[in-house]
Structure 1
Amino acid sequence: MPTAAAQPESYLFVAARIDGKKTMGMRAAMDEGVLARDLSKQKLVLIRSWRVPAWLAGKNDKPLSLKDQAEMTVQLSQLLSRGVPLVETLEVTAEAVSNKAKPRIEQLRELVRQGKSFSDASRETSTFDEATAAVFGAAERTGDLAGAADQLARNARRRIKIKETAQTLMFYPLIVLAISMMVGVFMLVFVVPQVAEAMTSAMGPDKELPWATRTLAGIGIFVRTNPLWILAGIAGLVVGLFLARQHIAAAVLRLSHILPVLKDVTLAQESARFFSVMAALATGGVPLADALGVANQTIHHRKLRNQLDGLRKSLIEGGVLRVLIDRIEAFPIGTRRLLIAADRAGNLDTAFESLAEDHTEQVERLSGRLLAVLEPLLIVAIFVVIGGMILAIMAPMLSISRQAFG
């Protein structure tokens, strides 16, 4: 019975450079001897090392960030296509990724050096998500690891582009609303109470301010005189939001699937992600049913996910792909017709790549349209917050003016 391969450890080390100066760092290695040999290749002499516990070394089960995955696959594609051995390629790649990802890549390199396949080592170290690991596994069987890395690099860049577009959609209204709220709080706490006090003195004891002005002034005075209670309330709200974050995220996700314009952006994002993964898997030689099983896991749109799961189940049971594709009503009719034509021509991988590019561009177009819709809504929201306070200030002034000139 074969024994499991030993796991690389993370080491914190102190080494001497050629000029005599000392340097510190962290690196994964099987033992101190391997660590010393690795450092000697970089013209460093190991002075002392300490084994770092796994929890302190930052080991976790989450894949690398998209940015690190993109950089890693680019390096793999360029170096492997030029005949550089995989272990040396991973050594170079470890220097190209972020410091947070570097120990993971070094651990991956050690496992490959021991004789493990790249896909198995990446799964063991949780370097990639399941879809990426499946592509590399298929590429190892066909002997085209460099081609798979190139395809995955394009896929990662598309996903980064989609993610950045989503962040823009989220940050723009948040920034505008945050600025308007800060201005509103300043007016509520400092401006409205002072104006209310001045207006009360000007109107005399037999007159009183409008109820809206009195209410806002009272709230502002309470906030200014009870800051600890306000901070405690804000802290409680933050804790409550943190505890209910999963329910809030689920509610926001449901809303994004039904609100006009936003639902189109969400569906385009989900479709772009799905076709990007399918393009990478199909190009890597993964069977269609297996590729669907992996790609469907990336879909959060309930209707699309259910229909794609049904397609995979029917396909495994012997269904005709062309007929099954036509039942995916979540996809536009043009997308379905293109997939059916590609299936007949036998070039589904090309169709997946083309649809991934098209839907990525569609996300950008629809995002611009959504921002155009959000801008007037934000203006209305700002008017409600700031304009309401201005009206509360102006109302007693207009009353005094009528009394003075009436």
Structure 2
Amino acid sequence: MPSFRYKAVSAGGKTIEGAMEAADRSIVVEKLRGQGHFPLNVEEGSASGQSILHRDLFGTGGVARRDITIATRELATLLKAGLPLDRALRVLIDVADVTAVREMQSRILERVQGGASLADSIEDEGRSFPSFYAGMVRAGEAGGTLHEVLVRLADFMERIQALRESVRSALIYPAILMAMAVLTVIVMFGLVLPQFRPLFADMGDALPLLTRIFLVVGDAVQEWWWAGALVIALAVLLFRRALKDSAFRLRWDGWKLGIPLAGDLLRKIETARFAHTMAMLLHGGQPLLDALGIVRDVVDNSALRQALTEVSGRLRQGQGLATPLAECGLFPSLAIHLIRVGEEGGQLEAMLEQLASIYDREVQEATKRLMALLVPLLTIGLGVVIAIIIISVLGAFLSVNETI
């Protein structure tokens, strides 16, 4: 039975934390509520403590989005339990394990106690929060539904995080396989092949051409490996600097969208993020044009960002959302169709939520298809390279036997 770590607030307002074994998370939540506690956070396992310790020791350069999501969920729970905002923030400060989060929450509490709204206090934190966060909180404060807005924000950020993690987890094995392939080739050329040079020293042109080429490459790797490493590091540095140029970044991002399979996956990821964010903002009362402007800043791909800028201009001219999105040619046709149906039926928000759910599943399926193709290709490629090297060495030995 899995073990869950939890944080909760007792009926007396004290923070408690501990561990509990249960079949799933919901059972832990129910048990805590049955004991008169308000659950703040329930997570499976104890690995999170190690990551928290690592972040406290080495730092992250800011507050991680995962920590923002957890704090949002905890604040929503405390406000729903009836705690005033300032007291809820104090509780969050007391239970915060990450130094950067604790300091950020302390600054927010200080501003709130000074008379600022929660939205303004969050806005002063700059890039620690997503660009749409403060606007959603402001709408919740104005409408008296702050805890509901915070729950929706937490749900949204958890879905986006889960989407990102699912893709990242799927790419781990191919990345390891690629690294092993490169390392194997370097070891074969730099360490293994040069060991055979003394055996073939007197062969000269009698050696097979492939063997001679590989021996030359092996000598070059042994003698000039540092130059190769320097060239690679310089190329990476120049590429990262080039990405800061908006024109180059636009061309690069546009090219990525055109890659077979991988480009399709990128489109689906950005479509899911677009739909999730638009649905949340429209539900929070944001006008369509303002919501689109916020979504434009959330999208990672600059080609899509430029397309959304053009769509915003068309909206200002009184056009709908679906037609300019279709004309930009970067969004999937299914997404365009569902958005058009939502506009025509006056159910755009509901249709965007449906669209987000569809593309969450599409991303998972596209990731599986890409991995199903990529992993065998990498495995076969590595096998072919090793086989060619072995054949070249065997060919050299056969040539030696023939000369004898």
Does the alignment reach a TM-score above 0.5?
A: yes
Match of 1:188 in 2: 189
Cα displacement string for residues 224-273 of structure 1 (whole angstroms, at most 9, x for unaligned residues): 4x4xx533542453144124314369365333211111111011011111
Change (3 A) 1:301 1:74: same
Alpha-carbon distance in 2 for matches of 1:131, 1:112: 20
Alpha-carbon distance in 2 for matches of 1:390, 1:107: 64
Match of 1:35 in 2: none
Report deviation, 1:352. Answer: 2.1
Match of 2:240 in 1: 245
Cα displacement string for residues 319-359 of structure 1 (whole angstroms, at most 9, x for unaligned residues): 34566566565434433333233334433322222222221
Change (3 A) 1:301 1:207: closer
Alpha-carbon distance in 1 for matches of 2:60, 2:398: 66
**Is the CA contact 1:289–1:312 (under 8 Å) kept in the aligned structure 2?**
yes
Gaps of 5+ in 1: 1-57
Report deviation, 1:223. Answer: 4.1
TM-score (norm 1): 0.74
More helix by share: 2
Report deviation, 1:364. Answer: 0.8
Report deviation, 1:176. Answer: 0.9
Indicate yes or no: 2:172 matched with 1:166. Answer: no
Match of 1:383 in 2: 383
Match of 1:142 in 2: 143
Match of 1:335 in 2: 335
Change (3 A) 1:139 1:103: same
Match of 1:82 in 2: 81
Percent identity, please.
Answer: 27
Match of 1:67 in 2: 66
1:42-57 map, 5 Å:
none
Alpha-carbon distance in 2 for matches of 1:367, 1:103: 38
Q: Which amino acid aligns with 1:262?
A: A
TM-score (norm 2): 0.74
Match of 2:110 in 1: 110
**Is the CA contact 1:279–1:350 (under 8 Å) kept in the aligned structure 2?**
yes
Match of 2:212 in 1: 214
Change (3 A) 1:184 1:336: closer
Question: What secondary structure does 1:130 align onto?
Answer: coil
Question: What secondary structure does 1:331 align onto?
Answer: coil
Change (3 A) 1:324 1:234: closer
Alpha-carbon distance in 1 for matches of 2:267, 2:289: 22
Report deviation, 1:310. Answer: 3.2
Deviates more, 1:82-91 or 1:214-223: 214-223
Change (3 A) 1:252 1:91: farther
Report deviation, 1:282. Answer: 1.3
Match of 1:288 in 2: 288
Cα displacement string for residues 108-156 of structure 1 (whole angstroms, at most 9, x for unaligned residues): 1211121111111111112312112221122222121111111111111
Report deviation, 1:365. Answer: 0.6
Report deviation, 1:192. Answer: 1.1
Alpha-carbon distance in 2 for matches of 1:83, 1:321: 40
Question: What secondary structure does 2:132 align onto?
Answer: helix
Alpha-carbon distance in 1 for matches of 2:212, 2:327: 61
**Is the CA contact 1:72–1:97 (under 8 Å) kept in the aligned structure 2?**
no
Question: What secondary structure does 2:318 align onto?
Answer: coil
Change (3 A) 1:167 1:255: farther
Match of 2:13 in 1: none
Q: Which amino acid aligns with 1:293?
A: G
Change (3 A) 1:317 1:190: closer
Match of 2:54 in 1: none
Q: Which amino acid aligns with 1:160?
A: Q
Question: What secondary structure does 2:157 align onto?
Answer: helix
Report deviation, 1:170. Answer: 4.3
Cα displacement string for residues 137-187 of structure 1 (whole angstroms, at most 9, x for unaligned residues): 222221211111111111111211222233235433321121122222222
What's the C-alpha RMSD, in Å, of the aligned pairs?
Answer: 3.0
Question: What secondary structure does 2:206 align onto?
Answer: coil
**Is the CA contact 1:325–1:340 (under 8 Å) kept in the aligned structure 2?**
no
Alpha-carbon distance in 2 for matches of 1:69, 1:77: 12
Change (3 A) 1:339 1:254: closer
1:253-268 map, 5 Å:
253-268=253-268
Q: Which amino acid aligns with 2:166?
A: T
Cα displacement string for residues 93-112 of structure 1 (whole angstroms, at most 9, x for unaligned residues): 33346333321222112111
Q: Which amino acid aligns with 2:73?
A: V
Alpha-carbon distance in 2 for matches of 1:266, 1:67: 22
Alpha-carbon distance in 2 for matches of 1:165, 1:331: 21
Change (3 A) 1:328 1:355: farther
Q: Which amino acid aligns with 1:317?
A: Q
1:358-369 map, 5 Å:
358-369=358-369
**Is the CA contact 2:275–2:353 (under 8 Å) kept in the aligned structure 1?**
yes
Match of 1:318 in 2: 318
Change (3 A) 1:395 1:255: farther
Change (3 A) 1:196 1:361: same
Match of 1:308 in 2: 308
Alpha-carbon distance in 2 for matches of 1:318, 1:219: 64
Q: Which amino acid aligns with 2:354?
A: S
Change (3 A) 1:189 1:81: same
Alpha-carbon distance in 1 for matches of 2:310, 2:393: 61
Count of matched residue positions in the alignment of Structure 1 and Structure 2: 340
